[in-house]
Amino acid sequence: MSSLWSDEARYSRWRDVELAALEGMVEAGLAPREALQDCLARAGDFTPEDAAKIEEIERTTKHDVIAFLTFMEERVGPSARWLHLGMTSSDVLDTSLALTLRDALDLILKDVDRVMAAVEKRAFEHKHTLQMGRSHGIHAEPITFGHKLAIWYDELRRARTRLEHARDVIAVGKISGAVGTFAHLPPAVEEHVCRKLGLKPAPASSQVVQRDRHAEFFTALALLGSSIEKFAVEIRHLQRTEVREAEEPFTAGQKGSSAMPHKRNPILSENLTGLARLLRGYAVSAMEDVALWHERDISHSSVERVIGPDATILADFMLIRFARLMEDLRVYPEQMKKNLDLLGGVVNSQRLLLELARKGMDRQAAYVIVQRNAMKLYEEGLDFRQALLADEDLRKMMTPEEISDCFSPGYHTRHMDDVFQRVFGRSA
């Protein structure tokens, strides 16, 4: 990913845009074929020394594209005068930026596929691993750890769809000139350039490709980062000492604290949580770039020079880190079972409530009966099931066997096959 943003790579893409434009001019009868052949033969690749030379020229010109063209004139010779004919700097900059962002997203999509594969594998591994579901951080009803991961997989699939759409939106070039009117080059040249480089021509442009496209790109990355943060925060909670149902890998020789040798901290998940904040900030910066003066100003340029490489490299890093975390995540089913039993079965309260309603009791009256027995566990330490069996009002409606049946552990998760079929297209 980093190599996409190197100076040598940037100048190579500028060269590709300029040569494709000259080729389009030749086909349109606007430039001599000999000039194209000469430029193709002499343009060459770019070394770090070449990049340094261009930067040296820029210190005088105070203009990066003019510095590049000056270098090309020195390298190619007289035929270079046909390069950039009828074009403006943004024709080169925006078209080459589209190439870079498109290629960056291709790498990110591969990363997403790796993450999804890891989550899918662990989901099926723990499809029937019972775990306490929590709302407001409080025990709610049983789920399975595989169900939790199925939800993550479905969210990642939506993220992937957004990224694919962002790739389509950003893969747009323009060779329409200083204010986008094709005053000095016909649209056929732009069409040729985009076709050759694997882009689409912008249907209409000013001096620049419109920045709502770029805002969508960086927003898709920010949403991806927010999902990764969500997963990371969950892992952090599950690793808490009081919960300890899952844990990041802790390798031989790893240390958790300079002061406390016993510590095993969720540092990978905490790292991902922090990095997601950066991605969201880059999305805001990209949105600020949408509103430019008239046909264009340069206020977006400084922002994109930072957020382009930073956001794509960061997203790439986050995905690889999270994939490795999921592949090696430690899961503790026995601790999950222990936590399930922590409150003596009160998490089956809704099932009792519904059973009483089915037997004809008014819902609110049933709620009072179930709740008062549940509260005895919290306030008096009484066993929930024993409290229910001793409740005369409840015993009028349900037999001891029917009450006990409401505590069967598999009741809440009996539809996992249906959920997995929906999410993965298979149940096993």
Cα–Cα distance, 417 to 123 (Å, whole number): 12
pTM of structure: 0.94
Cα–Cα distance, 26 to 33 (Å, whole number): 6
The three-state secondary structure class of 32 is: coil
Does the active-site annotation cover 136? yes
pLDDT band of residue 412 (cuts 50, 70, 90) is confident
Q: Is 335 exposed, middle or buried (0-12, 13-18, 19+ CB in 10 A)?
A: middle
pLDDT over threshold 90, residue 408: no
Q: Do the beta carbons of residue 39 and residue 19 sit within 8 Å? A: yes
Cα–Cα distance, 175 to 151 (Å, whole number): 44
Cα–Cα distance, 134 to 139 (Å, whole number): 5
Chain segment 73-125, per-residue pLDDT in tens: 999 999 999 999 999 999 999 999 999 999 999 999 999 999 999 999 999 99
Cα–Cα distance, 420 to 411 (Å, whole number): 17
* Mean pLDDT of the region 16-24: 98
Cα–Cα distance, 194 to 143 (Å, whole number): 51
Cα–Cα distance, 316 to 103 (Å, whole number): 12
Q: How many CB atoms lie within 10 A of CB 428?
A: 8
Cα–Cα distance, 57 to 198 (Å, whole number): 31
Please give the C-alpha separations between residue 301 and each of 93, 187, 208, 315, in angstroms, as whole numbers.
10, 25, 11, 21
User: Considering 136, 258, 262, 294, which one is annotated as catalytic?
Assistant: 136
Q: Do the beta carbons of residue 14 and residue 65 sit within 8 Å? A: yes
Q: Do the beta carbons of residue 51 and residue 116 sit within 8 Å? A: no
Does the active-site annotation cover 300? no
User: Considering 2, 63, 165, 257, which one is annotated as catalytic?
Assistant: 257
The three-state secondary structure class of 246 is: strand
* Mean pLDDT of the region 126-135: 96
